[in-house]
Amino acid sequence: MRKWIKKIIVGWLLIAGMVTGYAAEKDEVLRRVSQNGLNLRLLDEIWRGDKEVVLVAVRQNGLALEYPSPALKKDREVVLAAVRENGLALEFADSSLKRDRGIVLEAIRNNGFALLYADPGFKRDKDIVREAMRNNIDALVGADPGLLRDRSFARECVTYHIRALSYFSDALRQDRELALMALARDHYAVAYVSPQLWKNAEFVREAFQTNHFIVYNEFFPEEAIAFIDIKDLMKFYNQVSNLNLTGIEEYFSSHKGAFSVLVDHQTNEMNTKPLVLCIEAKYKQDEFYIKREDTIIELAERGYRVGYRQVSSDEEFIRVVKETGDKHPISLLLLHGHGRGEWVTFSKNGTEDEKSIHDTNRLDVQHDAGKLAVLRTSFAPGATMVLYACSTARGGKTATNVATMIARALPAVRVFAPLEDVSTYQLVFDERNGIEDVQYFKYDVGMQPRFLSNATLCIQPGELASPLEKQPKK
C-alpha cells in the first residue's frame, strides 16, 4: 500500500514539474515574440500552433502571420489582429479569409497595397478599391484591369488624386476630358497624360489655357511648346515674371528657362512692395502657392511680392528668414510643414513615429524657443505669420505649443495657427489687402474642403509678451 501511495506521489510531482517547466518555457516564448513577432519563425511547431503565442506575435508584427500553423492562418481573430497591425499580412492569410470583406477592409485601411492580396472579386469592387485608394493612391496597381477601363470610375479617382490617371488603361489616358481634368488640378499631371496627346496641337493649346504652369513641368515635351501661340506664352511669362517669385527656382530646379527671367524683372518699384515669404518643408512639396496659379496672382494683384523657399532644418529656417528679412522686411510669412502641438518638421514624412524625427529637422518648443529672437528685426511693422502645420496651436494660448512659442519669441508679429489637424487653408483679406483672418479646412470624402469654424487660433502682437517686453521704451 505504501509503495502504491509513494508511486502516486512521485507521479504527481513529475506532472507538477512538467507543468511548471512548460509554464516557464511558455513565459519565455511569450517574452520573445512580444519583443519581436518575427521570432515566431524560430520556435518549435508546438508554439507556432499555440493561439496565445501567435496572437502576441502578430500584434507585435503583423507579418509574423507567415509562420503560424495552417489552422491558425484560418483563425479570424488571429488574421484580424495581424492585418490591423500590418495590412500586408493579408498575403499570408488562408484564402478563405481573403474573401472575408471585414478582414479585407481592415487590411486596406491599414495599407492600401493589401488589395494586391485580396480575393480577385474584391479587386473589381469599387467600394473596396476606393477604400484602398484613400489609404494610398498607388494601391490602384492592385485593381482589376477591367475596373481600370471604367471611365466613370476613372473620373472619380482623378478627382481624388491626379496620379490615379497613370494606372488606368491607355485608352483612358488618351481621353482628353480626363487629361484636362487632371491638368486643371495640378501641372504634375503632365507626367500621367498619354504621350500621344502632346502631339495634338489643339489639345496642347487647350491644356495650356487650362493650366499655364504645364510649360514648367519637366515632363512637358519641348516640341509641344511650338503649338502654343507665342503671344499667349509671352503674356504668361511676363505675368509670372512680374510676380517676382523669389527663390522659386528651388522648386523648379530642373527648369532654367522661363523662371530664370524672374531675376531680370526685379525693379526698384517692385522692391517697395510688401513681401510674402512662403517657407515649405522640402519633403512636403505643398501645392498651395506653387500649383495654384490663382492664389499667386491674387497676392500679386493685391500688391505683394512673393518669395518661396524650401528648408530641411530649424537652422535653415532661421537662416532663410534672417537673410530674407535683412534684405527686405517680411510682411507675411507662410510656414508649411507637418506639425504637432510641440513641433513643425521640415524633412521627415509625417506618418513616421514622432520620436524618430531628430530635433534638428524640426522647429520645436523644447530646443528652439530661444533661437527665434534673432528674427525680430526680420519683420515689417504689423507683420503676420501663418502656420499651415497640423495642430500647432493645440491647447490654445495657455498651452505650450509652436504658435505660443513663436508669439513669445516674436511679440511684434501676429500669429495664426490651427488648433487641430487640417488639410488646407485660405487667406482672408481686408479692404486694404491686409490679412484679416485665416480659414482652415479639412477634406471630406471626395476631397471636398469642409470649413472648420473653430480651428483657427489668432495671437495678436504683444498678447503673450512678458511684462518687461510690454513696458513702453523710455
Highest mean pLDDT pick, 6-20, 229-243, 262-276, 365-379: 365-379
Q: Is residue 107 part of a domain?
A: no
Q: Is residue 234 part of a domain?
A: no
Domain boundary among 227, 259, 282: 227
Give the β-pairing of 414-418 and 379-388. Answer: parallel
Q: Do residue 296 and residue 425 come from a single domain?
A: yes
Q: Do residue 299 and residue 387 come from a single domain?
A: yes
Q: Is residue 280 part of a domain?
A: yes
Cα 295 to Cα 468: distance, rounded to the nearest angstrom: 40
Q: Is residue 360 part of a domain?
A: yes
The per-residue pLDDT of the chain, averaged, comes to: 81
163 grid coordinates:
496620379
Instruction: Supply the pLDDT for residue 252.
Output: 42
Domain boundary among 56, 71, 94: 94
Q: Is residue 106 part of a domain?
A: no
Answer yes or no: is pLDDT of 250 > 60.
Answer: no
Tell me the residue type at 207: A
Q: What is the mean pLDDT of residues 460-474?
A: 65
Instruction: Supply the pLDDT for residue 307.
Output: 76
Give the β-pairing of 435-443 and 424-429. Answer: antiparallel
Highest mean pLDDT pick, 228-232, 378-382, 441-445: 378-382
Answer yes or no: is pLDDT of 473 > 60.
Answer: no
Tell me how many domains the chain contains: 3
Q: Is residue 122 part of a domain?
A: no
Q: How far is CA 53 from CA 41, 44, 65, 81, in A?
A: 12, 12, 12, 13
Q: Do residue 321 and residue 188 come from a single domain?
A: no
Instruction: Supply the pLDDT for residue 45.
Output: 87
Q: Do residue 197 and residue 56 come from a single domain?
A: no
Domain boundary among 227, 259, 280: 227
Instruction: Supply the pLDDT for residue 331.
Output: 93
Domain housing 184: 147-227
Cα 156 to Cα 415: distance, rounded to the nearest angstrom: 37
Contact present, 339 and 386 (Cβ < 8 Å): no
Answer yes or no: is pLDDT of 1 > 90.
Answer: no
Q: In what order do the strands lie in the sheet with 343-345?
A: 338-340, 343-345, 362-364
Q: Do residue 251 and residue 166 come from a single domain?
A: no
Q: Do residue 312 and residue 389 come from a single domain?
A: yes
Highest mean pLDDT pick, 18-32, 107-121, 294-308, 441-455: 107-121
Task: Using pLDDT thresholds of 50, 70 and 90, give the confidence band for residue 328.
Answer: confident
Highest mean pLDDT pick, 39-48, 212-221, 416-425: 416-425
Residues 255-293: pLDDT tens digits? Answer: 333 333 333 334 434 567 888 888 877 754 433 334 445
Instruction: Supply the pLDDT for residue 239.
Output: 65
Q: How far is CA 23 from CA 17, 146, 347, 431, 459, in A?
A: 10, 54, 48, 77, 60
Q: Is residue 200 part of a domain?
A: yes
Instruction: Supply the pLDDT for residue 167.
Output: 95
Q: Do residue 207 and residue 248 come from a single domain?
A: no
Rounded percentage of the chain residues whose pLDDT exceeds 70: 79
Cα 330 to Cα 377: distance, rounded to the nearest angstrom: 9
Q: What is the mean pLDDT of residues 441-445?
A: 77
Q: What are phi and psi of 14, to 5 degrees?
A: -65, -45
Q: Do residue 413 and residue 333 come from a single domain?
A: yes
Q: Do residue 244 and residue 222 come from a single domain?
A: no
Q: Do residue 184 and residue 37 come from a single domain?
A: no
Answer yes or no: is pLDDT of 248 > 50.
Answer: no
Residues 329-369: pLDDT tens digits? Answer: 999 999 988 888 888 887 654 444 445 445 667 888 888 88
330 grid coordinates:
517680411
Residues 81-133: pLDDT tens digits? Answer: 999 999 999 999 999 999 999 999 999 999 999 999 999 999 999 999 999 99
Cα 62 to Cα 79: distance, rounded to the nearest angstrom: 9
Residues 400-413: pLDDT tens digits? Answer: 999 999 999 999 99
Instruction: Supply the pLDDT for residue 152.
Output: 94
Rounded percentage of the chain residues whose pLDDT exceeds 90: 46
Q: Do residue 362 and residue 395 come from a single domain?
A: yes
Answer yes or no: is pLDDT of 245 > 60.
Answer: no
- Find, among 239, 237, 247, the residue nearest to 278 by Cα: 247
Residues 14-27: pLDDT tens digits? Answer: 454 444 555 668 88
Residues 141-189: pLDDT tens digits? Answer: 999 999 999 999 999 999 888 899 999 999 999 999 999 999 988 888 9
Q: Is residue 271 part of a domain?
A: yes
Give the β-pairing of 330-336 and 379-388. Answer: parallel
Q: Do residue 316 and residue 348 come from a single domain?
A: yes
Answer yes or no: is pLDDT of 471 > 60.
Answer: no
